[in-house]
Structure 1
């Protein structure tokens, strides 16, 4: 009788342990995956800051050349770039980094054109925007570059505040970083959207809530899609009907430096091509 009681107790404890394991293990796996993905996001954010620095540094010594700023940003982001189909993404040696850089340059700058990386939705891999000087560049060139045939602005020109301000080059780098850790990528993508649109969702388990006939993640995606622009493109990538979905999070950094070369009036490569709203 006592041995049966012991067997029954042991069987009950074993069943309880199995249930507890089934509950705890998925949570632990999610935590580990989430920590890894957050670490990768933090690294990408640091490289975005470095990319903004490298881009503006290239601009101030190369007459505000937009194409050179974009290529400098690309080089800085190399360790965090997503793998190209059928290509090796490792950059742990100089030779490997050169190969990856060459492949991305070919894809992004073919025929001297800035091509979208996610061509199905028209989203770039990253975007370099000139915040300053912005607007009225033609007038600046004609007014302050008159002694240079209106082609450039002397970076040492200190005749008034307007030209002094124009010789501060300020850029914003937006890196559309692709989250790549399974399951954690979807959750962090939802958290990113939630940061913008959590006004109607409450609690830690907001993704389980039902809103407007759908779950919370679908609700967030629909609101982002309705906003349009980059939000709509990011949601389209995450809701791709094909087998390959991309969960993207924009990382933004700004940097400002004083020009150390003359701004050129060059529509093909000059700062006007990257001016916000230009």
Structure 2
């Protein structure tokens, strides 16, 4: 980047001018600068547009241009710059203002400044033409848009995986409810059904060996992690078990269970504690909360921070480095193993096929 003064004959237009020479310099422009001193300017040539993204200062864009004359200066270029500077000074922005001067020269300029010349031969201008004129601006715009575009693409992938995980969890919850309905509502049976339903999330092949390996991993590792999942029995409640539970029928005198046979002939009066009938007490409804681990880079940290209300959304550290304002059910597990987990919930309801005992 050359530096000098901008003159028109004996008249000095600007005392401290920086002229861009390469596409990289035009692309950078004033990015990273806090201010420009008085009588300091950036001369961009060629320039079809000036972007202000990332600017931390007020700027005056003063265009200068004209038709190219072979071997000479562009007609009216210096005059237009002089008129623009004069108007800026009359408006109160001349002294102490921060200027960015863009000289949109179709083939070059002939204004000389402090030992540097911005003129270009006519033949060279004809060969390079308009192809390179907007290259710097296009590169700057691409760099600005690239992080947003990358975040959008990664977000689409991560939300697609979340949709798949939620659909798998819905199926696994139904499997857990069916296992509970067939096995007296026992928690161990529902855990087994949940593991079988979640196994597709960890299968890496479609064969029998892959299925068995996924089921083994889900049973012995994934669901064995503390707070990795939770199964809540919404219905029947303990109050329903107190209202309709009977001992000494099928399981002996020490086990209370809600009768499951001949329901159409039983009394439909609601229980005093539960407020539901014995028929409704035979509907098993469960809610499963599963801590799903996200793997897509950057997006997993962003979603994790938003769901735990962590102020530093763009943190690159491990979970637990920043203090969450509202940690969810998966925060402790994520902190312990260094993963990015968020809770997914699903509910299912089935009719009991065996007397409900719970436990």
TM-score by length of 1: 0.67
User: Larger Rg: 1 or 2?
Assistant: 2
Among residues 119, 123, 127, which one is paired with 2:230 in the alignment?
127
* Matched ranges for 1:105-184 at <5 A: 105-107=219-221, 115=224, 117=225, 122-124=226-228, 126-136=229-239, 139-140=242-243, 143-148=245-250, 149-151=253-255, 152-156=257-261, 157=263, 158-159=266-267, 160-162=269-271, 163-184=278-299
What is the deviation of 1:186?
1.3
Aligned residues: 221
Change (3 A) 1:33 1:80: same
Query: Does 2:187 match 1:66?
Result: yes
What per-residue deviation string (whole Å, max 9, x for no partner) do you get for residues 50-75 of structure 1?
11111111111121121111111111
Q: Distance in 2 between matches of 1:177 and 1:223?
A: 20
* Matched ranges for 1:181-220 at <5 A: 181-193=296-308, 207=313
TM-score by length of 2: 0.53
* Matched ranges for 1:23-102 at <5 A: 23-81=144-202, 89-102=203-216
Change (3 A) 1:232 1:218: closer
Which is richer in helix? Answer: 1
Change (3 A) 1:19 1:47: same
What is the deviation of 1:95?
1.8
What is the deviation of 1:130?
1.1
Query: Does 2:333 match 1:247?
Result: no
Among residues 230, 235, 241, which one is paired with 2:329 in the alignment?
230
| Greater RCO, CA 8 A, separation 6+ | 1
Q: Distance in 2 between matches of 1:105 and 1:230?
A: 20
Which is richer in strand? Answer: 2
Change (3 A) 1:45 1:220: farther
Structure 1, unmatched stretches of 5+, are 82-88, 110-114, 209-216, 265-270, 273-278
What per-residue deviation string (whole Å, max 9, x for no partner) do you get for residues 94-146 of structure 1?
3201112113322367xxxxx3x2xxxx432x2222111222476357x5335
Structure 2, unmatched stretches of 5+, are 1-120, 272-277
What is the deviation of 1:219?
12
What is the deviation of 1:11?
4.2
What per-residue deviation string (whole Å, max 9, x for no partner) do you get for residues 175-218 of structure 1?
11111111121122233335xx9xxx9xxxx958xxxxxxxx99
Q: Distance in 2 between matches of 1:95 and 1:219?
A: 39
Q: Distance in 2 between matches of 1:145 and 1:91?
A: 48
Match of 2:122 in 1: 2
Q: Distance in 2 between matches of 1:166 and 1:145?
A: 16
Q: Distance in 1 between matches of 2:320 and 2:209?
A: 43
Match of 1:258 in 2: 351
Change (3 A) 1:231 1:68: closer
> Is the CA contact (8 Å cut-off) linking 2:330 and 2:342 kept in structure 1?
no
Q: Distance in 1 between matches of 2:193 and 2:135?
A: 59
